Amino acid sequence: MTQSRAERTVRDLFRAAGVEVGGTRPWDVRVHDARIYPRLLSEGSLALGESYMDGAWDCERADEFICRIIRAGLEDKVRSSTELKLQVLRNRLTNPQTIRRAREVGRRHYDIGNDLYAIMLDDEMNYSCGYWREAATLDDAQRAKLDLICRKLGLAKGMRVLDIGCGWGAFARHAARHFGAEVVGITISKEQAGLAGERCRGLPVEIRFQDYREVTEIFDRVVSIGMFEHVGPKNYREYMEVTNRRLVDGGMSMLHTIGSNVSKDSMDPWMERYIFPRGKLPSIKEVAAAAEGLFVIEDWHNFGADYDRTLMAWHENFNAGWKAIKARYDERFRRMWNFYLCCCAGSFRARDIQLWQVVLSRGGVPGGYRSMR
């Protein structure tokens, strides 16, 4: 396809989504390099993200732009890239999330710098969706989320809790301080493990650099907040089996995860290459199938719209704090990170992806479980 024909096609596709090239609205795009047009048609979202990183186009509100093109279904109107096809094939033939391979996301995403996450996140460094039902600030929303999880699990003093994918220790600190729990937090990020250990010093909290498949103790509760997205379809059942084995009879587990409306074989190729290597969002069907015969699903709570607000708060914090960290990161990284946050916010706004809190019990809660919101 010639460049001029490709440009006309892309302009028409964008127009169908309510986006104009060279328009004046915040979600309209400004193209600085016309060579992106044929790339967009042949490589789809991978080209969209890479060309933004390279400065080939700009948009005042990339989050609104992404929301509109998702709602218009443009992804289905552009043929799949070779990268996506290869990714799907790899995921079908191999297990991208073995213990050895799973640690790659720790190195490439969570270990890139605690300074970055410190300027972007709330005071407790929660890197997952806040609960904005009655919150006015990011700090309030994250505290509300942690408190909601503890209450849903019925945490009580002296309970032993396994926190799978503990991040920088926010949940462990909250559960220990406010509910008297004893927490073992595990992560596959060395940077997280180091800082989490420092932040939890003096509390009944142990932080380990460890994969969930390597844990051997028994716990009263198991919680996973924003980690299941890295487990992978070939390991969903094993994750549930491991969790089941780690719980006492009558124990409970909380799964806090981003989810997809449909079952897919892969993640967005740009997101997989630059942000979350070997990641994949589970569907309701996949979560339920993995839990079948092992757990009673007591509660399923969707507050995905809250992630939009959380991500935009992170986006604001990141840009406000950029001067403090820019000596360690280049301009291409800044554009990449902004595109990542805006893409995710736009996806949640379009309701293309969700945020679920799933409460699972080992044997069922006697007399029934009381849902909490």
| Residues catalogued as catalytic | 344
3-state SS, the chain, equals CCHHHHHHHHHHHHHHCCCCECCCCCCCEEECCCCHHHHHHHHCHHHHHHHHHCCCEEECCHHHHHHHHHHCCHHHHCCCCHHHHHHHHHHHHCCCCCHHHHHHHHHHHHCCCHHHHHHHCCCCCCCCCCCCCCCCCHHHHHHHHHHHHHHHCCCCCCCEEEEECCCCCHHHHHHHHHHCCEEEEEECCHHHHHHHHHHCCCCCEEEEECCHHHCCCCEEEEEEECCHHHCCHHHHHHHHHHHHHHEEEEEEEEEEEEEECCCCCCCCHHHHHHCCCCCCCCEHHHHHHHHCCCCEEEEEEECCHHHHHHHHHHHHHHHHCHHHHCCCCCHHHHHHHHHHHHHHHHHHHCCCEEEEEEEEECCCCCCCCCCCC
On the 0-12 / 13-18 / 19+ scale of CB atoms within 10 A, 94 is: exposed
Query: C-alpha distances in angstroms, 132 versus 22, 35, 129, 173?
Result: 35, 42, 9, 21
